[in-house]
Structure 1
């Protein structure tokens, strides 16, 4: 135990300090959280983070976040002018569109607005959803507890203006079941689209870079370029297991060189060919572009929007880095380099309009063509890293909130939290990306699909931001209207354009997202129904006391940890176990695993304990709380079992002094009326009237109880875990049977089992089976 932890324990164990606290109710779960000193989770956004760490993260972010948007110059002009350039001024119109699109969406919207809506350093659509769940009761799982709000990083400091509008919208969301389902489904859809980006980004980036071989030599046919791209993709996904930290440091110098060289070539072409393209800063050229081309200009927006690919990953990856580091790297490196690169290509195209189909490679000076080709291929490989890392982050979040089947999440960095790798998802992305590359073969066809995935996900994020601004930030309605008019309107125009290409490949991300959405919804649907079933059939306190007091129940030496996901009570599978095996260990702890709509939970606030009366039966309940961005790491030290028992003993000390203090503190409010008389009588028997002469006796009893826990631990710890067989109930419809009996049970059988989510020794694990009819 560290010195700080020792001081915390002394502080907790002091009756004088406890006496000064005002506890709202006589509940040990509440007691535990009330006794924790104020603590705020550490993340990269903390004010005490040094500039050295911020700059180090900014450097890493160059290699991980900006590879995608940084390689978009490879294909933007070719994807925009698919039928060639009809008017030289059209180049100025498209360049002006690129200028203002990159400025509005990645820079202003994401870097300076959306990143502020991070959830204690974590980003992505689920972070926005968790913020809403925390500030309004829009979650569909009935596992909320009053104690949750006492987690140190649970509450937000909110401005007070526009309170009336905020309350009206909040009440509307809380009172509408349809609104709650829509929020959850849209969150899942956005997550599915970002995962789809993780498939399309590697395909289009690598294929467009390797396509430079076709321009250099006729030996490299389209088929050979495709298979070279496939080989590169296999290498890329195989490197993911080394982690974001190592990949970031390896890739950052390369992407930095990519930005620097492209900016240099851009300046060279700008001076050599046509410096007058600077006129594109005037947005009037956009108006003229649409006047000249009409519908064709609108259709071409599907190519222009590819200049902002990867911006959703920028938000999802904030958990790997920090807001400040991303703001620095975007403003000082990525944004100016992109502006110069697109300007240089436009200058070249003004005098070489026939080269538009291969604009990037044609604009490279011949003397550095092959070095640039090598850098382009490597940068294209790196471009995929942004979406892959973002995919891992959002799947980790959805997994914790019960919205994704169980998969293994591996932390890859001991220095920075939030950097994860998911093996199963990595292999699925690799196979899907290879299939897309082989099937579509050209960047133009992939671009049609890519645009829909990018813009759809961004419009969903903007919609959530409107709710965040109104419900959480409580911004003035005019600020929200400005956001909608300046940013969301632009995104909807782009969305209308990319949807036009639905029949020409745009169907792929929608189909892929629909499959993922179905998987996520099926898992969440059964997960919620299973929870409701356990709530309705839980073991009541009276039944539990009767079970423990039965004459035929043998109490054997040792300590049993009984796992479940039910927060409010004892799961029905426990009674099923006792009916078949009439034996209980000397100490029983019912452990409920719970995810909060918070990114991380401080360790000292993770375990909440409560005694189950009568006290001499040695039965405890414990809620173990995790944030959605945390994992139950199998390699964590100390392990879960050790932490649980140590926190149990700490709770017993706190409970002892709290009970002593309540004998003299008449201001304590007893809310749980059904237990009040029993607790009062028991305290009188065990602790007398609180005379100072009884202090030593009470101390001896406390040490005896703690020694009892330690003795049970030495006798052996057994981990009991329910393995419920879920099936559709009698009279269930055909659709429900398909969802539960086939789909859900297929996922459950073929994916990670619940006992592997903790470091439970296999030799001390006992699984208990029971059938649930939903």
Structure 2
């Protein structure tokens, strides 16, 4: 388990890592935000000052106050992110699973949109030097390489991220500063009056708000990466990042000031801050920064899926650990889904301007869900109710306004995000509820009644021996009960004689890194139950964990695993272990209502794509038997069956 205290230590290395991992998304927003605010509109002093004021206050209220100051408090043993937050508050109410699922689905949808938008914006800068350059093939090539590299782990690249992002932030700050010094008056845009003025007088205020929102899209990622960087490092590095961002936006404002009365067309103010000789360098650094931003989001999506799997919100999928670095994981199925998704986005929308409409919508939704969960967290922390109501009101209003601003873009591309987010949400919903319906029909029996039978079977030499040590995975939460399907498999289906029977139970805790176990001898030397308590970030390798438990028990003389076969016993050879995984299949669905029936059909389809249970628990497949046992739904008792001679 990682040391919780280390996570919150401030260090130079920590600050540099934070720059590399966290701020990619929010740090590359100057590439497209101002261009999106101006859009097709005529450039006016009101629009420039109002846009700048909106950007400044959005960064202050949304990123600084909501995320950096308030939400970072909600760390779950040093880990952040929407599922960590949900784990902290889920005891409060059952319905909290809904905002957690919606937020998770929205963040995954964002993982598909971000690489497409940021890489396209960066590459489009080349259009200034090379007119009519086809950018789509270049963008697709960069994105493809990015996803192919994922499987090798990103720890090597990760070390280079910090210095490169530092270079990027310093570069955008200097570019902006040069212009601000020419016209310092631009800084008056910090006055919130200008934001208020444009939003109350401009008929297209909602569209402007939708564009402004793009400047804070990375705030959610900042919270998710809490575990990698620590609170203190994030808070201090954000000061530098915010200054650099504001300077660059102000610089773009000065450049636009000279363009009053004209319209932008295809011009991107960001690249016009650069002197001609610097353009190619600037574009190269921008492209690398955009790639890093995408990388951070992809890694975030992997972590999100791994957590969702352990919280039973996503089908079990294969998860690889390419390097020993903490939190480094790779989910092959998700990698290729994201990859195909990104390429489709680039092919459908072609230009970053067209993508901006689809972008932002999913993140607004994720932020709203975080607001709901954070307010519940603050209630748990016994923060005075009036403060929670203020928090909910302010951020509810801000985020709903942003949502309406982004909803205005649904026809212009937002439909894509809605479609994407809804399909991801439907997977979580069907998986979570399918399991719930299945578990409802699982029958548990009192295990004590079976103690004498189990002891007798174990000694009955007329039954051929099935294994020396026979292991079952059980989902019964209490020592006193067991699934009837396990008893059926052990005693009736094919009576299984073994020297020792083991029952293993895995409990996923609300804390991220717990690794504990408890041994309960139910029938001494014959039937033993082991309960594992594993954190939602811990890989469930039951094979390895169980072996460790057995070794400990042998050391403490609690169990003898020497084979009882005479020829092997005298040589002190250990007996064989055999796992039986009982897969419960819902046989008839006539007692389910229409919605549940559809849910179960969807659940079964998803189950075909998921990793089988025995693989999901990391069992050694050479010793596993999988048995399908029907979950018998009680037949109606009111029918009459007539016997005829």
Tell me, yes or no, if the aligned pair for 1:65 and 1:385 is still in contact at 8 Å. no
Of 73, 76, 83, 1:126 maps to: 83
The residue matched to 2:336 in structure 1 has which SS? helix
Q: Give the aligned CA root-mean-square deviation in angstroms.
A: 2.3
Alpha-carbon distance between aligned partners in 1 of 2:495 and 2:65, rounded to the nearest angstrom? 65
The residue matched to 1:521 in structure 2 has which SS? helix
> In structure 1, what is the equivalent of residue 482 of structure 2?
570
Of 420, 428, 436, 2:337 maps to: 428
Tell me, yes or no, if the aligned pair for 1:80 and 1:304 is still in contact at 8 Å. yes
> In structure 2, what is the equivalent of residue 69 of structure 1?
26
**TM-score of the superposition, structure 1-length normalised?**
0.76
Of 100, 115, 119, 1:202 maps to: 115
> In structure 1, what is the equivalent of residue 364 of structure 2?
455
Q: Does 1:411 align with 2:318?
A: no
Of 709, 713, 716, 2:561 maps to: 709
> In structure 1, what is the equivalent of residue 243 of structure 2?
336
**Change in 2 beyond 3 A, CA 1:710/1:66:** farther
Alpha-carbon distance between aligned partners in 1 of 2:467 and 2:631, rounded to the nearest angstrom? 31
Larger helix percent: 1
Of 720, 723, 726, 2:580 maps to: 720
Q: Deviations over 1:642-679 (max 9, x none)?
A: 212134457xx6xxxxxxxxxxxxxxxxxxxxxxxxxx
Q: Does 1:187 align with 2:144?
A: no
> In structure 1, what is the equivalent of residue 139 of structure 2?
229
The residue matched to 2:56 in structure 1 has which SS? helix
**TM-score of the superposition, structure 2-length normalised?**
0.90
Q: Does 1:607 align with 2:567?
A: no
Of 93, 99, 108, 2:65 maps to: 108
Tell me, yes or no, if the aligned pair for 1:69 and 1:309 is still in contact at 8 Å. yes
Of 396, 402, 416, 2:312 maps to: 402
Higher relative contact order (CA 8 A, sep 6+): 1
**Change in 2 beyond 3 A, CA 1:107/1:728:** farther
In the TM superposition, residue 435 of structure 1 has moved relative to its aligned partner by 0.2
In the TM superposition, residue 511 of structure 1 has moved relative to its aligned partner by 1.4
The residue matched to 1:567 in structure 2 has which SS? coil
Of 578, 581, 592, 1:732 maps to: 592
Q: Deviations over 1:430-451 (max 9, x none)?
A: 0001101100112222111112
Q: Deviations over 1:502-523 (max 9, x none)?
A: 2221122221111111111111
**Change in 2 beyond 3 A, CA 1:529/1:733:** closer
Tell me, yes or no, if the aligned pair for 1:396 and 1:629 is still in contact at 8 Å. yes
In the TM superposition, residue 529 of structure 1 has moved relative to its aligned partner by 2.5
Tell me, yes or no, if the aligned pair for 1:314 and 1:386 is still in contact at 8 Å. no
Alpha-carbon distance between aligned partners in 1 of 2:610 and 2:467, rounded to the nearest angstrom? 35
In the TM superposition, residue 219 of structure 1 has moved relative to its aligned partner by 3.5
Q: Does 1:60 align with 2:25?
A: no
Structure 2 spans left out of the alignment, 5+ residues: 565-572, 634-645
How many residues were matched structurally?
Answer: 616
The residue matched to 1:609 in structure 2 has which SS? strand
Tell me, yes or no, if the aligned pair for 1:200 and 1:436 is still in contact at 8 Å. yes
Alpha-carbon distance between aligned partners in 2 of 1:484 and 1:186, rounded to the nearest angstrom? 15
> In structure 2, what is the equivalent of residue 767 of structure 1?
626
> In structure 1, what is the equivalent of residue 217 of structure 2?
309
> In structure 1, what is the equivalent of residue 548 of structure 2?
643
Tell me, yes or no, if the aligned pair for 2:361 and 2:417 is still in contact at 8 Å. yes
Tell me, yes or no, if the aligned pair for 2:561 and 2:575 is still in contact at 8 Å. no
Tell me, yes or no, if the aligned pair for 2:7 and 2:78 is still in contact at 8 Å. no
The residue matched to 1:131 in structure 2 has which SS? helix
Q: Does 1:212 align with 2:212?
A: no
The residue matched to 1:46 in structure 2 has which SS? helix
Alpha-carbon distance between aligned partners in 2 of 1:738 and 1:297, rounded to the nearest angstrom? 42
Q: Deviations over 1:697-724 (max 9, x none)?
A: xxxxxx4x53x23557801111221223
Q: Deviations over 1:602-647 (max 9, x none)?
A: x3xx21221223x35x10112112111111259x9xx223212134
Of 465, 475, 480, 2:383 maps to: 475
In the TM superposition, residue 360 of structure 1 has moved relative to its aligned partner by 1.0
Alpha-carbon distance between aligned partners in 2 of 1:538 and 1:749, rounded to the nearest angstrom? 29
Tell me, yes or no, if the aligned pair for 2:7 and 2:227 is still in contact at 8 Å. no
In the TM superposition, residue 412 of structure 1 has moved relative to its aligned partner by 4.1
Tell me, yes or no, if the aligned pair for 2:252 and 2:273 is still in contact at 8 Å. yes
Alpha-carbon distance between aligned partners in 1 of 2:591 and 2:198, rounded to the nearest angstrom? 62
